[in-house]
C-alpha cells in the first residue's frame, strides 16, 4: 500500500485545470474529484455507515468541536478511535473546530493561543486553539486533521482580514509541531476573505510551511455567490499541483463543477442531508421541494433515470406523504437520493475528465441546471 498522503494525478483535462487523482489515506484510497458527506457527530444523519459506503463513498467528515463536546475525545480514544467507534471502514477527515467556534459562539475572545467561547450545549466556558484542536483530532484518530484557523466572516474590513490571516499562519505553524495519530495527515487552510491578494499570500505561506494537502476555507460564509469562484481562483493559484485541494463547505452542484474546472479535488457540505430533513431533493436540474402540493398524485420518481434505491422504488406522491406526516423514512429516503445524486455527478465528472470531454459535460450540465428545479 502507498504511504498515507500520496496523491497521484491519473488524468488531466486538456481544456481546464480539472484532474482525476488517487489520495491514499491510512484507511484506503479515495478517488478525486469527489464529494464527502458530513458526519458531524459520528453519523451521516439518518443513514448507517454501511448505507453510506454502499452509495460509493470512501471518505466522510467528523467535527472536532462537536465530538469533543459529546461524547468526548477521550471516550472515543478509549474505544479504539473514531473509525471503530462508528464502524466506518473508510477515510475520515475532521474539521478543526475553527468554523464552529466562529459560527456557534455568540461571544468569543480571540488571543494568540486560541479562542475562549461558550458551549452551544450548556453555556460552559470552553477554550480551543491550535494545540487543543490537534490533540483532540489525534485522539479521534482521523485520517486527515484540519489545522485550527480563524474563519473570516463576510463582510469584513481588510485590516481585520489581514490580522486573521497572519494569526491563521502562526497557528498553522504551531499545529504542525503537534503530535499526530499514526498515518494522520494535516491539511492547511487558506483564508483571506474576499481579498484575492490575501488569499494568494496565505496559500503561498502555507506551502512554505509545508502540509500534506491544502483547503480553501472561508467561502460560502454568507457572501454573494459571485464571490465564491474568485475566492477559489485566488487560493488555487498558489497551491502545488501535486497536493490535494479541498474546497470546504461548498455543495451546490454547479459550484462544485466550476471548482473542479479550476483544479479542486475534494468537497464537503451538510446540504444533501440538511435539505432532505426539510423535504427537498438534489437533482441534476436543481433543487426539488417535495412538500409542494403539485406532487400529491405524482407517480414519477424524484428524478427520471436515477438508479438510487429511492428512485427505483418510491414515488414523489409517497415521499410527499411521508414528509407531511413527519415520518423518518421520508428523510432517510431523500438523504439516500441526495447523496447518490452528489456521488453520481462527481463520478460522471471523473469519467468526463478521463475521456477528455469534461468541458462538454460541464457546459451541458450547467445549461440544464437551475437553483430551483422546474419539473
- Whether residues 192 and 290 fall in one domain: no
In this prediction, residues 117-126 reach a mean pLDDT of 89
Longest dimension (CA), the chain: 60
In this prediction, residues 271-285 reach a mean pLDDT of 98
CATH of residue 18's domain is: 3.20.20.105
Confidence class for position 104, pLDDT limits 50, 70, 90: low
- Listing DSSP states for 276-303 in one string gives HHTTEEEETTEEEETTSGGGTT--S-SS
* Nearest alpha-carbon partner for 199 in 149, 250, 241, 243: 149
Q: Which domain holds residue 294?
A: 277-368
Q: Which of 220, 245, 269 is the last residue of a domain?
A: 269
- Whether residues 327 and 188 fall in one domain: no
- Whether residues 206 and 336 fall in one domain: no
pLDDT at residue 109, rounded to an integer: 87
- Whether residues 37 and 114 fall in one domain: yes
Q: Residue 153 falls within a domain, yes or no?
A: yes
* Helices marked H in the chain: 49-54, 64-69, 73-78, 82-86, 98-104, 130-140, 158-177, 196-209, 228-236, 253-261, 271-277, 309-313, 316-325, 328-355, 358-368
In this prediction, residues 43-58 reach a mean pLDDT of 98
Separation of alpha carbons 248 and 320, rounded Å: 32
pLDDT at residue 344, rounded to an integer: 98
In this prediction, residues 62-90 reach a mean pLDDT of 97
pLDDT at residue 374, rounded to an integer: 62
Catalytic residue positions?
Answer: 95, 268
Query: Taking all residues of the chain, what is their mean pLDDT, rounded to a whole number?
Result: 96
Q: CB of 375 within 8 A of CB of 90?
A: no
- Whether residues 213 and 169 fall in one domain: yes
In this prediction, residues 303-310 reach a mean pLDDT of 98
Please check the confidence at residue 41 and state whether its pLDDT lies above 80: yes
- Whether residues 161 and 54 fall in one domain: yes
Confidence class for position 132, pLDDT limits 50, 70, 90: very high
Q: Which of 269, 298, 332 is the last residue of a domain?
A: 269
Q: CB of 358 within 8 A of CB of 352?
A: yes
In this prediction, residues 336-363 reach a mean pLDDT of 98
Q: Residue 345 falls within a domain, yes or no?
A: yes
pLDDT at residue 66, rounded to an integer: 94
pLDDT at residue 248, rounded to an integer: 96
Instruction: Calculate what percentage of the chain has a pLDDT beyond 90.
Output: 89
- Whether residues 223 and 142 fall in one domain: yes
- pLDDT, one tens digit per residue, over 145-202 is 999 999 998 999 999 999 999 999 999 999 999 999 999 999 999 999 999 999 999 9
pLDDT at residue 190, rounded to an integer: 98
pLDDT at residue 105, rounded to an integer: 60
pLDDT at residue 108, rounded to an integer: 80
* Nearest alpha-carbon partner for 185 in 249, 93, 67: 93
Q: Residue 374 falls within a domain, yes or no?
A: no
- Whether residues 124 and 244 fall in one domain: yes
Q: Residue 375 falls within a domain, yes or no?
A: no
- Whether residues 155 and 29 fall in one domain: yes
pLDDT at residue 102, rounded to an integer: 73
- Whether residues 300 and 157 fall in one domain: no
Please check the confidence at residue 299 and state whether its pLDDT lies above 90: yes
User: How many domains is the chain partitioned into structurally?
Assistant: 2
Please check the confidence at residue 365 and state whether its pLDDT lies above 90: yes
In this prediction, residues 6-21 reach a mean pLDDT of 98
Q: Which of 229, 252, 269 is the last residue of a domain?
A: 269
In this prediction, residues 223-252 reach a mean pLDDT of 95
Q: CB of 82 within 8 A of CB of 142?
A: yes
- Whether residues 85 and 45 fall in one domain: yes
Amino acid at each position: 500500500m502507498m504511504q498515507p498522503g500520496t496523491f497521484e494525478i491519473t488524468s488531466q483535462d486538456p481544456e481546464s485545470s480539472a484532474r482525476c487523482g488517487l489520495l491514499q489515506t491510512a484507511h484506503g484510497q479515495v478517488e478525486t474529484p469527489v464529494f464527502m458527506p458530513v458526519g458531524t457527530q459520528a453519523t451521516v444523519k439518518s443513514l448507517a455507515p454501511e448505507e453510506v459506503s454502499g452509495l460509493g463513498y470512501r471518505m466522510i467528515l467528523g467535527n472536532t468541536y462537536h465530538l469533543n463536546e459529546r461524547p468526548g475525545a477521550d471516550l472515543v480514544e478509549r474505544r479504539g478511535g473514531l473509525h471503530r467507534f462508528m464502524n466506518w471502514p473508510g477515510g475520515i477527515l475532521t474539521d478543526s473546530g475553527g468554523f464552529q467556534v466562529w459560527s456557534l459562539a455568540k461571544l468569543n475572545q480571540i488571543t494568540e493561543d486560541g479562542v475562549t467561547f461558550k458551549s452551544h450545549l450548556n453555556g460552559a466556558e470552553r477554550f480551543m486553539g491550535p494545540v487543543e484542536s490537534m490533540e483532540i483530532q489525534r485522539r479521534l484518530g482521523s485520517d486527515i486533521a484540519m489545522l485550527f484557523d480563524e474563519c473570516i466572516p463576510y463582510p469584513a474590513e481588510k485590516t481585520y482580514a489581514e490580522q486573521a490571516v497572519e494569526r491563521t499562519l502562526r497557528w498553522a505553524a504551531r499545529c504542525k509541531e503537534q503530535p499526530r495519530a499514526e498515518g494522520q495527515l494535516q491539511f492547511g487552510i487558506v483564508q483571506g476573505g474576499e481579498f484575492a491578494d490575501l488569499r494568494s499570500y496565505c496559500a503561498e505561506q502555507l506551502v512554505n510551511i509545508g502540509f500534506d494537502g491544502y483547503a480553501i476555507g472561508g467561502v460560502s460564509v454568507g457572501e454573494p455567490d459571485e464571490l465564491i469562484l474568485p475566492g477559489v481562483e485566488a487560493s488555487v493559484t498558489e497551491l502545488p499541483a501535486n497536493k490535494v485541494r479541498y474546497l470546504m463547505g461548498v455543495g451546490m452542484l454547479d459550484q462544485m463543477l466550476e471548482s473542479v474546472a479550476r483544479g479542486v479535488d475534494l468537497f464537503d457540505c451538510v446540504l444533501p442531508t440538511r435539505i432532505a430533513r426539510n423535504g427537498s431533493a438534489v437533482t441534476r436540474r436543481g433543487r426539488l421541494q417535495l412538500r409542494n402540493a403539485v406532487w400529491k398524485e405524482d407517480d414519477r420518481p424524484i428524478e427520471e433515470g436515477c438508479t438510487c434505491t429511492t428512485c427505483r422504488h418510491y414515488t414523489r406522491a409517497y415521499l410527499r406523504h411521508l414528509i407531511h406526516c413527519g415520518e423518518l423514512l421520508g428523510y432517510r429516503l431523500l438523504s439516500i437520493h441526495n447523496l447518490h445524486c452528489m456521488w453520481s455527478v462527481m463520478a460522471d465528472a471523473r469519467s468526463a475528465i478521463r475521456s477528455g470531454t469534461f468541458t462538454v459535460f460541464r457546459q451541458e450540465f450547467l445549461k440544464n441546471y437551475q437553483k430551483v428545479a422546474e419539473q
